[in-house]
Amino acid sequence: MRTVLLVLLLVFSSSMFGCGSTDSGMALMQKANKSNIQRLANLYRLYQATNDWRGPESVEDMKEFIKGLSANRLSMYGVDADDIESLFVSERDGEESKFRFRVKDAPMFQSPVVFEQIGKGVYRLVGFTSLPPKEVSDDSEYDDLLAGKFVSEKPPVQGR
């Protein structure tokens, strides 16, 4: 059952980012994991898929989960197995990412779970469990997403 859920998760994640007939599964995974915030959100979703759709308890819990993945799987997500620590730092602002922990989801939910602290310019990226990251410039929207108050009224804007 767990394997079936993981396969469904990978297929669903891949379909969100477009699917050309010449793209391999690896190429699709790489498209879905261009930045640390995307990698963390997708790994958060993988954590949920293997833990009854519950998110990790803490950063340490998330790191232990990632360290337990094979080097091959980490490579699919664009993660260097020898440098997991850098995964938790945003390339855009150099700050450690914030998380919402213990998020209980279902396979089709789209919860905000990973957050840039400072961002780039007026935009901070927010990583979702089943969507590309969204750029947020409004502090109250960012605070609402961080608090788990999320209503999707418009599609997220791809990161810059």
Measured distance CA(135)–CA(122) in Å, rounded: 9
54 Ramachandran zone, left/alpha/beta (phi>0; psi -120 to 50): beta
Model pTM score: 0.78
Which strands, in side-by-side order, build the sheet including 124-128?
A: 98-99, 112-115, 124-128, 134-136
Q: What's the token pair of residue 63?
A: 């790191």
pLDDT in tens, the chain (160 residues): 454 344 444 444 444 444 444 457 777 777 778 899 999 999 999 999 999 999 999 999 999 999 999 999 999 999 999 999 999 999 999 999 999 999 998 877 889 999 999 999 999 999 999 888 999 999 999 999 999 887 554 444 455 4
| Rama region for 121: left / alpha / beta (φ>0; ψ in -120 to 50; rest) | left
